[in-house]
Amino acid sequence: MARKLSKRHSRELVEGSGISTDVIDARGYETVREKARFLEFEYESFQWTGPGLLIPIKDADGRVVGSQWKADEPRVHDVTDGDGKVTKTKSLKYDNPMGSRVRLDVPVGAAAGLGDASVPLFITEGAKKADAGVTAGLCCISVLGVWNWRSNGEPLRDWDHIKLNAREVFIAYDSDVMKKAEVQSALDALTAFLTEKGARVAWVVLPDRPSLAGENAKVGLDDWLVDNDMDPAGLGQFVRRPESNIRVNDVPLPVITRQAIAALHVNNEPKRLFSRDDLLVEARATGLQEVVKDRLTFLLGESANWHRATEKGRKPVPPPPYVTANVLAAGQEYWAFDLLDRIVTTPVFAADGTLRTEPGYHAPSRSYYLPPEGLEIPRVSTAPKKREVREAKALIHELFQDFAFVDDADRVHAWALLLQPFARELIRGVTPLYSVQAPKQGTGKTLLVQSALAPSAGVVDSYAEPHGDEEMEKRLTSVIREAAPVVFFDNIDRKIHYPSLASALTKATWSGRVLGKSATVTMPIQCTFVLTANNPQFSEDIKRRAVPIRLDARVEDPSRRENFTLSLPAWALERRGELVWSACTLIASWVAAGKPKPDADTAVIGSFGAWRRVMGGIVEHVGLPGFLGNLDSKTADKPLDAEAFELICAHAVNKYGDGQPWFAGDLAEHMFLADVELDFGRRYRDSSELASVLGSFLRTRRGQIVSGYRLEKGEVRRSRGFMWRFSRADVNR
């Protein structure tokens, strides 16, 4: 039950400071009219001047640990100089019990957010302002005086309840306080303390409010929120980042490291530094670049003023090498930079089917949209009309008109190559290799790849043919680490037998050693794989993972052909914005239609069920025939192959662990709910139907080894039958 407030105090809190009644009740504001009640809060008799507003002060656990007193007629006291001479009198707007301990004030509504560093923290001066911030949805605490974040020169223990490392912290004092030179040192000291704790500190410098008298009146956080309908969104325009000053002598290395990381964060606007599996990386127009020691030294020098404290003052110094090394060694646990998987240069569809058009970082997909200068893309309709779909198809038909596709399947696979980068996040699984083939040189294989990928990637670079699988593995580690959008091997002139490439085509992540490092890094695979070759010979592992795009000019010397309609890839680059619109329009049409699946008769290709469902669904929805129609019968009709066994093993070990038993029905339900397609030559309505087929499949594989694990029969449960387990294989058995 809230204590009764006078109408004056109620108006002051609700109308003057914008505090909601729930927050008022949680605080326990009270109008005190009797001196006896006032003295119950450990005030002295001389502090009583009549009725006023009692403001309880609470800690992080919601306990009352003090109070402030706002008298209706404030008490006055004398201000003296160093000689004890009274220079002026000053009224005390807020009074405290004599001898009371200094504490941080935590509104009840802010306490839950103190331990979550992802929630920005606001620090203001005064309980009413903090309550206004909480009413506006902020995690806001208050200090009861600009120096009262510490006591006897030491930070208050209350800070131990607040997670500060890697947290955005905004100090929002009154507009006049933020401009007073005499309190600048207090502000600098609080900023330094928070930075030492790893916080990313900013000041909110509120503007004064013009008054009728022609003089500016000070504005507090509560005043500004009331003037702006309690919407804190506009506070960003007043944010000012203080300079980071880092002392290098007589300071513990962990403290300097936290300060250095905090300075990098403060200077990371717009965002360019990210983390990629414990690699510190920088987003550039050319792709992701690992931040090495020399580059980090430069960035640290740009982010802070480094100095050595001497008797004569601060002596500027460069960032010490040991600090640079320690920052790099700290890892993501301490960096707390946003995680980044890939850079895109065009709008792409998010996993939920929305088209992401805003440049910058997108946390749900861990991607960064960095549009090239001058690229103009028409607006894409959420639900494109038939006319828009026809226009989109016509432009892509125009792009591909001069290529000598063997049949409809080859043509539609070229469309899939063009569309896949825009739809990649819609595909909850791995994607196959696009194999562009021809009988002879000069048929246009490389040109087709350059043209099909120009809308999503611009100018496409290719990689030379790797000489052996070891070189292929190193190349894959390099390009996947850099988050290259395309892995394009041009003019392969040998039998295409690369176990590492076959492995990459069926994995969601890639693990490899970075040159010069002993640790292995693991990175997501989101690139498009493509190669070109004349009459290629594939190993069986690669063949089962490849989608053919065959070209045949049916002339003796294809390179001497003339009278092409378009000059490619220049035309594709010139019309890039329109081609991006076309690709996105076709995908948006499919999304708006409910993401229909391809026809049940469409061929199945290994473990690429998710890719088949998305890409086949899109091209069939917009009326393009032939999808997966050119797979040879051996590839298309192979229902129970090693890829399915590998997929089953991966999910079983990830969910249940090495050597742990499980029922086939439970695993089937897990994989069905996770939307993992085991393409056993048919579609399954529910997990029980899949479980029956899965059980039969496992019985045929008992005792076999896959991905380093042996499939073994487990114990028998009378109610459900026998169990299975994957145990790490002993090579000596």
Span of 77-91, 239-253, 292-306 with lowest mean pLDDT: 77-91
Q: Which of 561, 477, 599 is nearest to 527 (CA)?
A: 477
The predicted model gives 569-575 an average pLDDT of 96
Find out whether 110 and 141 touch, Cβ atoms under 8 Å: yes
Looking at this protein, which amino acid is placed at residue 359?
A: P
Q: Which long-range contacts (CB under 8 A, 24 or more apart) does 681-689 make?
A: 681/604, 681/637, 681/639, 683/600
Q: What 3-state DSSP class applies to 436? A: strand
Spatial separation of the C-alpha atoms in residues 143 and 155, rounded to whole Å: 12
Question: Which CATH code is given to the segment(s) 7-240?
Answer: 3.40.1360.10
pLDDT value of residue 218: 86
Over residues 55-83, the pLDDT tens digits come to 999 999 999 999 999 999 999 877 776 67
pLDDT value of residue 733: 39
Looking at this protein, which amino acid is placed at residue 232?
A: P
Find out whether 370 and 343 touch, Cβ atoms under 8 Å: yes
For residue 470, CA distances in Å to 99, 474, 499 come to 74, 6, 9
- HEC sequence for 577-597: HHHHHHHHHHHHHHHHCCCCC
Hey, which bits of 447-562 come out as E strands?
486-492, 509-513, 520-524, 528-534, 546-550
β-bridge partners, 202: 170
Token pair of 353 as six digits: 């089917």
Alpha helices in 251-305 (DSSP H): 253-266, 293-303
For residue 142, CA distances in Å to 33, 131, 147, 433 come to 26, 9, 12, 58
Spatial separation of the C-alpha atoms in residues 104 and 145, rounded to whole Å: 10
pLDDT value of residue 549: 96
For residue 540, CA distances in Å to 331, 499, 640, 641, 670 come to 41, 10, 15, 12, 30
Q: How far is CA 351 from the centre of its chain?
A: 14
Spatial separation of the C-alpha atoms in residues 575 and 376, rounded to whole Å: 10
The predicted model gives 223-232 an average pLDDT of 96
β-bridge partners, 89: 78
pLDDT value of residue 213: 52
Rg (CA), the chain: 33
Q: What 3-state DSSP class applies to 704? A: coil
Spatial separation of the C-alpha atoms in residues 505 and 430, rounded to whole Å: 7
Handedness of CA 519, 520, 526, 531 (dihedral sign): positive
For residue 43, CA distances in Å to 54, 57, 524 come to 11, 14, 63
Looking at this protein, which amino acid is placed at residue 251?
A: V
Under the banding of pLDDT at 50, 70 and 90, the label for residue 677 is: low
List phi, psi (to 5°) of 319: -60, 125
Spatial separation of the C-alpha atoms in residues 156 and 66, rounded to whole Å: 15
Over residues 425-449, the pLDDT tens digits come to 999 999 999 999 998 889 999 999 9
Token pair of 240 as six digits: 């000012």
pLDDT value of residue 32: 97
Name the average pLDDT for the chain. 89
Residue 197 pLDDT > 80: yes
Burial (CB < 10 A; 0-12, 13-18, 19+), residue 525, is buried
Spatial separation of the C-alpha atoms in residues 453 and 259, rounded to whole Å: 43
The predicted model gives 656-674 an average pLDDT of 88
**pTM check: above 0.75:** no
Residue that has been written with the tokens 């038993």 in this structure: 661
How long a stretch of residues is the chain? 733
Over residues 130-180, the pLDDT tens digits come to 999 999 999 999 999 889 999 998 999 999 999 998 899 999 999 887 667
Fold of 386-557+566-622: Rossmann fold (3.40.50)
In this prediction, what percent of the chain has a pLDDT beyond 70? 93
Residue 634 pLDDT > 50: no
Note if the bond before 270 is cis, omega within 30 degrees. Answer: yes
In this prediction, what percent of the chain has a pLDDT beyond 90? 58
Q: Compute how many other C-beta atoms are within 10 angstroms of the C-beta atom of residue 555.
A: 13
Handedness of CA 83, 88, 94, 98 (dihedral sign): positive
Q: How far is CA 585 from the centre of its chain?
A: 26
- Cβ-Cβ contacts under 8 Å for 582 (sequence gap 6 or more): 391, 392, 393, 395, 396, 455
Find out whether 130 and 96 touch, Cβ atoms under 8 Å: no
Spatial separation of the C-alpha atoms in residues 341 and 366, rounded to whole Å: 5
Q: Tell me which of 287 and 65 has the higher pLDDT.
A: 65
The predicted model gives 569-577 an average pLDDT of 96
In DSSP notation, 619-644 reads: HHHTT---TTTTS-HHHHT--S-HHH
Q: Which of 484, 483, 449, 456 is nearest to 377 (CA)?
A: 456
Strand order in the sheet with 342-344: 342-344, 367-369, 360-362
